[in-house]
Amino acid sequence: MSSTGSRLEVRDISKSYGAVKALAGVSFDVAPGEVHALLGHNGAGKSTLVKVLSGLVQPDGGEVLINGQLVDPRSPRQAQANGVALVDQELSLVPTLSVRENLTLGATRGYVPHASVLREILDSLGLSRVELKDQVGSLPLGEQQLIEIARALSRDAQILILDEPTATLSEHEIEMVFRAVRRMAADGRSIIYVSHRLGEILELCQRATVFRDGKCVGTEEVSNLSRESIVHMMLGHLPEVDTQARGTVSEGVVVEIQDLAVEPRLVDFDLKIAPGEIVGLAGQVGCGASDVLRALGGLVPYVGGTVSIDNKQLKLGNPLRSARAGILYTTSDRKIDGLFLGHSIARNLVATRLPRVSGAGFLNSLKERRSIRRLLELTGIAPDRRRTPVGALSGGNQQKVLVARSLDKEGCRLLVLDEPTRGVDVGGRADIHDLVRSAADEGSAVLFSSTELDEVLELSDTVVTMFGGRVVAVYSRADVSAAQVLTDMTHGMQEHAA
């Protein structure tokens, strides 16, 4: 690999954590004006490399060159001085501050860009309607993501690392980000794009570097790749897809929802779910699906309508009441309100089941160990990692811990999952889908939401499409096409009626 024409060159970067080799001799380069994808299953090494480039982690060996010059990013500030900026998938904006205050927050060397410069940056990203005085928390999520990118540009970043920038965005917001990325590349900036959405990679990027088990499998022109070839490079094989009908849906109704309403976002939601049935709510961000799930989990204080579990009406508005009725809710945001990131995997796995592993106010060590061992088997995480802080895991393994914690054979009547595979690669997604199917096979009803069409079609027995806070249609999975579901998700009742 030659440094000629390269803005960034990574040579033989290695990093170990004890006996675990997170990176083993990784090398690749990125050219000016290029959108370069980093791909790999969760735990493959992408996150560690991103942290090395952004100064958050020090490598054990190897070199980083920018514009042919050797650099040593020993801190985020040093990386910033080198022209590198990380835009993480978890927004770091302060919602109560203005756009201008967020753009200048953390500026180095006392340099604060003039308002005219900030205005020009916002306009270049398609944010002409956003005012510098606007409070960031009042903006749509897609615009907040672009504000994150604008902050990097305000520091004159020439190498931008975008880590899952579209994970929680609607189709319209995703297109806004795409336009911004293309503009930045056209201006000569180098973009490192990390995403598990392979369609985005094929549409947006010029080259892709694939990681597996801490090693660089190869760098290829995206024009020469397909979804199948990327998956094969990531996993070393093509994943097995379960295309057979499960046949485990029972007769009867375990959950009945009538006229559920969370004003003004959700109205007139009706649904019946049988034991062992997996129902997928398909819609864009803001369609009302998350409101349904949060209401069932008891997280919305004012809810209209009725919900019955095993013919017993549930009074909503209280998480403890929902849990006692057999509803186990899993949030879409594992870092904010899902996991205790500073605590161990073991502690997180038993955090929501303390009554089952304790007695007379004291933990029963034997019950606790048995529960942890069983849940670790479900996640596929090695038992010797049980004391590892959850915050140190890859996003996919964090998600496995979050989902596995909700799998309880005793007392679970309805498993509720909001975006169960958010930020998870194809291999990790298959593992989580297996966990969900196993819960259904045990007789639990399952209700999940997803903005990803492939996931809805792959996992569901019944598909409920939503748009604008209302149900568009309810389909048996065998009777609906991907085109129809996508039409419902993006156009709603009007297109459906047509």
Centre a 10 Å sphere on the Cβ of residue 109 and count the other Cβ atoms it contains: 7
Which residue from 440, 301, 256, 300 is spatially nearest to 292, judged by alpha carbons? 300
* pLDDT of res. 495: 47
Predicted TM-score (pTM) of the model is 0.65
User: Under the phi-then-psi rule, with left for phi > 0, alpha for psi from -120 to 50, and beta for the rest, what region is 495?
Assistant: alpha
SS3 (DSSP) at 391: helix
Name all domains of the chain by residue range, CATH numbers in brackets.
8-235 (3.40.50.300), 255-497 (3.40.50.300)
DSSP H/E element including 328: strand 327-330
Q: Are strands 61-66 and 8-17 parallel, antiparallel or unpaired?
A: antiparallel
Q: What is the pLDDT of residue 109?
A: 54
Q: Facing residues of 257 across strands? A: 271, 307
In contact, 429 and 400? CB cutoff 8 Å: no
Q: Under a CB-based contact definition with an 8 Å cutoff, are residues 102 and 151 in contact?
A: yes
**CB < 8 Å & 24+ apart, contacts of 75-78:** 77/108
Return the SS3 of 86: strand
User: Does residue 115 contact residue 132 with C-beta atoms inside 8 Å?
Assistant: yes
Q: 456, exposed or middle or buried, with CB in 10 Å at 0-12, 13-18, 19+?
A: buried
- Say how far apart CA 28 and CA 226 lie, in whole Å: 20
What is the pLDDT, as a whole number, of residue 154? 86
Phi, psi of 429 (to 5 degrees): -65, -40
pLDDT tens for the chain, 498 residues: list them.
Answer: 444 589 999 999 999 988 778 899 999 999 999 999 999 876 788 889 999 999 999 999 999 999 999 998 888 888 888 999 998 877 788 999 999 999 988 665 556 778 898 998 898 888 889 999 999 989 887 788 889 888 888 888 899 999 888 876 767 778 888 988 999 999 999 999 998 778 889 999 999 999 988 999 999 999 999 888 888 888 787 655 454 445 556 678 999 999 999 988 899 999 999 999 999 999 877 788 999 999 999 999 889 999 999 999 999 999 999 988 999 998 887 877 788 888 999 888 888 777 778 887 788 888 888 888 888 887 778 888 888 998 888 777 888 888 888 776 667 899 999 989 876 777 778 888 988 998 899 889 999 998 777 889 999 999 999 988 899 999 999 999 888 887 788 666 544 444
Q: Alpha-carbon Rg of the chain, whole angstroms?
A: 23
Q: Note the pLDDT of residue 2.
A: 40
CA–CA distance from 52 to each of 22, 200, 345 (Å)?
11, 24, 24
Tally helices (H) and strands (E) across the chain.
18, 22
Quote the crossing angle between the two packed helices 141-154 and 171-186, to the nearest 10°: 20
Q: Of 429, 395, 447, whose CA–CA distance to 242 is shortest?
A: 429
